[in-house]
Chain A
Amino acid sequence: MKIPYPVFLKRTEDYPKWLPAATSVAAVLLAFVISGIILAATGANPLKVYSYFFKASFGSWGAFSDVIVKATPLLLIGLGCSLAFRMRLWNIGAEGQFFVGAFMASAVVMVPLVNLDTTPRWAIISLMGLLGMLGGSLYAFIPGILKAKLNINEIIITLMLNYIAVLWNNYWIFGKWSESGFQMTKTFPKVAWLPRLADYAREVPAFSGMTLHAGILFGLIAAVFVYLVIYRSKWGYKITLIGDNPRAARYAGINIARNTILVFMISGALAGLAGMTEVSGVVHRLQERISTSYGFSGVIVAWLAKLNPFAVIVVSILFGALLVASREIQPSGVSFLIQGITLFLVISSDVLLKYEIKWVRPAQETAQ
């Protein structure tokens, strides 16, 4: 058996501009096809599941508003991951940073850090946002400094910190902050809620029941910010250089250790902000299930968007739809399955960008 099959890959730098986007789209479509085959094998009707899927997420404005709500944390986390991945820093800890951000934001209300009756709403919400970002970035500082100073594998550290963050939250919601024995805090007072479309239902009747909250604005602002950093700033250029060629970056006098910590902290701050928008904009309390593995989906979102901040917006909406739909379809692992297959196809398709593929007949090869 001859394992490297007779295909010849020629390294190439130039590919048509549309190719990256096309491979991503093709990967998503193909992932749906493959998942459909697996679903059919388990006895479900894939077409029924998918049409249900589509209706549950894009069937009405209300459903679409739910999709955007789900897309908000994915957008923020996906942006943070895009930045970190540019530098080849594998921050898989967005889930943990999300929880710590949610915890810090909740502390404003639960401790409480300010007088909730007299402080204006904008101040409370800003403080929650800032503390959420602070929490996330401090939590990301741990893997950052371990990576920068001791070169310790950040993937495993961030993953372990995810588990620790969830348990830390549990300690508070099962104990100190528990609402009469339930595993959640009391509902936050209205002053700590991010404004929602439904709040304006009296002025615009069409908004009634719409859950869309202001968190999406944070996401869009963050997208512009990350875009400017990556594509328009000298610092963004340095980050990309460190990611692509750390040796060259070191010779160019770039401080890799400091940038490692900094990028980790920004990435964590965005995840922490996502946690804040979730408690302040959606559930209005701290509870056990505030994340349907946003942290991990964010990784896929970033990769599918090829680390491009504006593409992250589009992809996070798509994944938001996937999450909304998967609340209602059985079996529950389907969304994981589609995400896993998509990511696999995307990274496999990268070979099309890096190489020109030529098929070589075995006879030709032996002649070489």
Chain B
Amino acid sequence: MNWTEIFRSGLSTGTVLLIAAIGEILTERSGVQNLGVEGMMLLGAMAGFKIAFQTGNVWLGLLAAIAAGGLLSLAHAIVTIHFQADQTVSGLSLTFLGTGLAMVLGDGLTGQTGPVIPRATIPLLSQIPYLGPVAFTNHNLLVYFGYLLVPIVSYYIHKTRPGLHLRAVGENPAAADTLGVNIYRTRYLYTFIGGCFAGLAGAAISVAIAPGWYSNLTVNGQGWIAVALVIFAHWNPWRAALGGYLFGVLRRFSLDLQGPRLLFGLANPFFFNTNLVFFLQMAPYFLTIIALIWGSSAARRKRIGSPAALGVPYQRGERGL
């Protein structure tokens, strides 16, 4: 087994989860839970691939993906913030809507090849032993974008004034309202931003990590895994990064288990019985369940909760929580 390759691939597949999870963290921090990440990612993946394919310009594709995810998220924002509908059901219908839209608009794209995000090697940093070849060599640019995103968003949430407002709106909207923070505008804004990130994450699949459009199999549950990752990460970008990359590495590792004839000196069952591969394919989903159980119980032990107003619609003058 090639460990460098496993870690490298872990970082690049983890980037998808990382981007989507960070978007969802921003949304949930404002008190809105958007379970439609899967749908927004699928629409983003379709839009990104379609525009990149049609214009030949991958950057226009990325812009289209960001816009698509953001626009779709506005449907959730209107329904949950203005109409005060149940956020769970709205998120689910967003997934349906995104899936349907992506399948209809992406009709005929299957099997095509389009431009992809260019790869780059960072000078100097790629010379670091062990870390260099894994983290800074020949990755697509979105992976490096992911590295930058984590500290920036973390700083923004915890150390800046708008970040403070964001947290206040998610924890105690009534108090934030009395301080003059516009709850509705804040929630719209971060739901939209979360959607943009989800769209970008979708495009990260379709024009970078696994280029192409495979209809509704393109995203294949990664949006849901990202939602679980947010809980595992306790709404913290650093932990989301850790979780996302770990997830990517473990997934690649479990797929590579099929390769060798011998595993730790024993006959490799996955090599000799190819049907056992289905159990390896279950790994990401089992991992998600374990991460969720672990994350939730750790949160309870350390008394870290979800944003207090998560999922609660806000209306002025009504007793909220």
Chain A residues with CB under 8 Å of chain B are 1, 3-5, 9, 11, 38-39, 42, 90, 92, 146, 150-153, 155-157, 159-161, 163-164, 167-168, 170-171, 174-176, 296, 299-300, 303, 330-341, 343-344, 347-348, 350-351, 354
Chain B CB count within 10 A is highest, among A1, A168, A350, for A350
**Which residue of chain A has the shortest Cβ distance to B186 in the bound complex?**
A3
CA distance A299 to B79 in the complex (A): 18
**Which residue of chain A has the shortest Cβ distance to B39 in the bound complex?**
A340
Q: B303 within 8 Å of A by Cβ?
A: no
Decide: A163 and B188 in contact? CB cutoff 8 A: no
CB distance from A105 to the nearest CB of B (A): 20
Chain B residues with CB under 8 Å of chain A are 35, 39, 75, 78-79, 82-86, 88-90, 92-107, 182, 184-185, 188, 215-216, 221, 224, 227-228, 231, 273, 275-276, 278-279, 281-282, 285-286, 288-289, 292-293, 296-297, 315, 318
Decide: B90 and A344 in contact? CB cutoff 8 A: yes
CA distance A213 to B190 in the complex (A): 50
**In the complex, which of the residues A5, A157, A331, A351 contacts B103, with contact meaning CB atoms closer than 8 Å?**
A331
CB distance from B68 to the nearest CB of A (A): 14
A174 contact set on B, CB distance < 8 A: 275, 278
Chain B CB count within 10 A is highest, among A146, A151, A160, for A160
CB pairs A–B below 8 angstroms (22 shown): A1-B185, A38-B101, A150-B293, A152-B293, A156-B288, A157-B289, A159-B221, A160-B228, A164-B286, A171-B275, A296-B96, A303-B89, A330-B107, A339-B96, A340-B99, A343-B93, A344-B94, A344-B97, A347-B89, A348-B83, A348-B85, A350-B85
**In the complex, which of the residues B92, B182, B297 contacts A150, with contact meaning CB atoms closer than 8 Å?**
B297
CA distance A344 to B72 in the complex (A): 12
- Tell me how many residue pairs across A and B have CB atoms closer than 8 Å: 154
A163 contact set on B, CB distance < 8 A: 221, 282, 285
Decide: A167 and B281 in contact? CB cutoff 8 A: yes
CB distance from A139 to the nearest CB of B (A): 13
**Which residue of chain B has the shortest Cβ distance to A43 in the bound complex?**
B107
Main secondary structure of the interface of A (DSSP, over half): helix
CA distance A175 to B275 in the complex (A): 6
A161 contact set on B, CB distance < 8 A: 285, 289
CB distance from A26 to the nearest CB of B (A): 15
A299 contact set on B, CB distance < 8 A: 92
Decide: A160 and B288 in contact? CB cutoff 8 A: yes
**Which residue of chain B has the shortest Cβ distance to A297 in the bound complex?**
B96
Decide: A333 and B100 in contact? CB cutoff 8 A: yes
Q: Given A156-B292, A160-B288, A336-B100: A167 and B105 within 8 A (CB)? A: no
Decide: B99 and A146 in contact? CB cutoff 8 A: no
**Which residue of chain A has the shortest Cβ distance to B90 in the bound complex?**
A347
B293 contact set on A, CB distance < 8 A: 146, 150, 152
A350 contact set on B, CB distance < 8 A: 83, 85-86
Additional pairs, 20, CB under 8 Å, beyond known A336-B96, A336-B103: A38-B104, A153-B231, A155-B35, A159-B224, A160-B289, A161-B285, A164-B286, A167-B278, A167-B282, A171-B276, A299-B92, A331-B107, A333-B99, A336-B100, A337-B103, A341-B97, A347-B86, A347-B89, A348-B83, A351-B83
Q: Given A167-B279, A332-B103: A340 and B97 within 8 A (CB)? A: yes
CA distance A38 to B231 in the complex (A): 35
CA distance A195 to B216 in the complex (A): 35
Q: Given A42-B107, A331-B104: A354 and B84 within 8 A (CB)? A: yes
Decide: B96 and A351 in contact? CB cutoff 8 A: no
Decide: A156 and B100 in contact? CB cutoff 8 A: no
B315 contact set on A, CB distance < 8 A: 9
CA distance A38 to B107 in the complex (A): 13
**In the complex, which of the residues B84, B184, B228 contacts A156, with contact meaning CB atoms closer than 8 Å?**
B228
B106 contact set on A, CB distance < 8 A: 333
A334 contact set on B, CB distance < 8 A: 100, 104
Chain A CB count within 10 A is highest, among B84, B96, B106, B184, for B96
**Which residue of chain A has the shortest Cβ distance to B280 in the bound complex?**
A167
Decide: A171 and B279 in contact? CB cutoff 8 A: yes
CA distance A344 to B95 in the complex (A): 10
CA distance A155 to B292 in the complex (A): 11
**Which residue of chain B has the shortest Cβ distance to A41 in the bound complex?**
B105
CA distance A38 to B102 in the complex (A): 12
Q: Given A156-B288, A157-B292, A167-B281: A347 and B102 within 8 A (CB)? A: no
B103 contact set on A, CB distance < 8 A: 331-333, 336-337
Q: Given A164-B285, A170-B278: A90 and B184 within 8 A (CB)? A: no
**In the complex, which of the residues A3, A92, A151, A160 contacts B92, with contact meaning CB atoms closer than 8 Å?**
A92
CB distance from B169 to the nearest CB of A (A): 13
CA distance A157 to B185 in the complex (A): 32
Q: Given A42-B107, A174-B278: A3 and B89 within 8 A (CB)? A: no
